[in-house]
Amino acid sequence: MRVLITGGAGFLGSHLCDRFLTEGHTVIAMDNLITGSTDNIAHLAGHERFTFIKHDVTNYIFIDGPLDAILHFASPASPIDYLELPIQTLKVGALGTHKALGLARDKQARFLLASTSEVYGDPQVHPQPESYYGYVNPIGPRGVYDEAKRFAEAMTMAYHRYHGVDTRIVRIFNTFGPKMRLRDGRVVPNFIAQALRGEVLTIYGDGSQTRSFQYVSDLVEGVYRLLFSNEVEPVNIGNPGEFTIKEFAEIVNELTQNSVGMVYKDLRTKDDPQVRQPDISKARQVLGWAPNVSLREGLKLTIPWFREELQRRGEL
């Protein structure tokens, strides 16, 4: 297959490039590099089945030749990023999805949208099944991301129903692993970097809010299976192992042997979801998928990467 991956130089996009190349496909990665980095795909330079195009997916896309699939993964994805880049976040979810769908229609390619557990907002149903419509504040600081992704899902279904485009939607829950940006402000890079530097871990709020973290290889496997399945409606891909942020901080400190502890700070925004846990019954049923990597195992694979990254930058 010849596959276009938007956001291909980002955290998830670059892991997907690796997977599709390993499976023998041809990959075109597109990224405007506002939050992605060519560092993530540098090892693919010169690969005969890999091309990188620096382009903003919200503008008209021209790709020469056939395409079999488009994976739309371009978007700022951490709360800090979308607080700093609110308009770009809205544009890539709305205009970018429109352009990528238009290209899929033109090329008769299958289209897969990277959606998010954020469509569930601060959920009133726990754990969250795909049938839950969510509890999102459209005008809150996180609304730019949540609503852009909700619009993107609506646009994807409209192209499917109206234009007959073959579409897939994955709702991605918190994912971590090597190549996450050190400074993207999310809890995983923040805590690991703080712990490796021997600093206190900054917990926002009282640390009782929960998240369910999946390791990146599980996400990639889920996306790969979804693309080749027949499921048009959204599918949650996430690890149901749920931890409070305080528990998560304790695990990071334990694995890095950081004895300094934690400090409590004000919540970043009042819309910070209190709980989040995927119901993955559907993924199990239609994809035969379930996560393989536990939080601790995933952290043991991730911490060394962050250590090297900090050393490379002369920060350790």
Residues engaged in binding ligand UDP (CB under 6 A): 78-79, 174, 186-187, 190, 202-204, 209, 211, 245, 267-268, 272
> Is 58 or 78 the residue whose CB approaches ligand UDP more closely?
78
Helices (DSSP H) in the chain: which residue ranges? Answer: 11-22, 79-84, 86-91, 97-107, 143-163, 187-196, 216-227, 245-256, 281-282, 295-312
Cβ distance 17 to 49 under 8 Å? no
> Is 107 or 150 the residue whose CB approaches ligand UDP more closely?
150
> Is 235 or 245 the residue whose CB approaches ligand UDP more closely?
245
Q: Which of 82, 120, 145, 159 is catalytic?
A: 145
> Is 167 or 175 the residue whose CB approaches ligand UDP more closely?
175
Q: How far is the CB of 128 from ligand UDP (least distance, A)?
A: 13
For helices 245-256 and 187-196, give the axis angle rounded to 10 degrees: 30
Cβ distance 243 to 211 under 8 Å? yes
Tokens read off for 134: 């969510």
145 included as an active-site residue? yes
Q: How far is the CB of 79 from ligand UDP (least distance, A)?
A: 5
* Alpha carbons 300 and 30: distance in angstroms, whole number: 30
Q: How far is the CB of 176 from ligand UDP (least distance, A)?
A: 8
Q: How far is the CB of 315 from ligand UDP (least distance, A)?
A: 17
Tokens read off for 170: 């994955």
Q: Which of 78, 168, 61 minimizes the C-alpha distance to 114?
A: 168
| Active site amino acids | 145
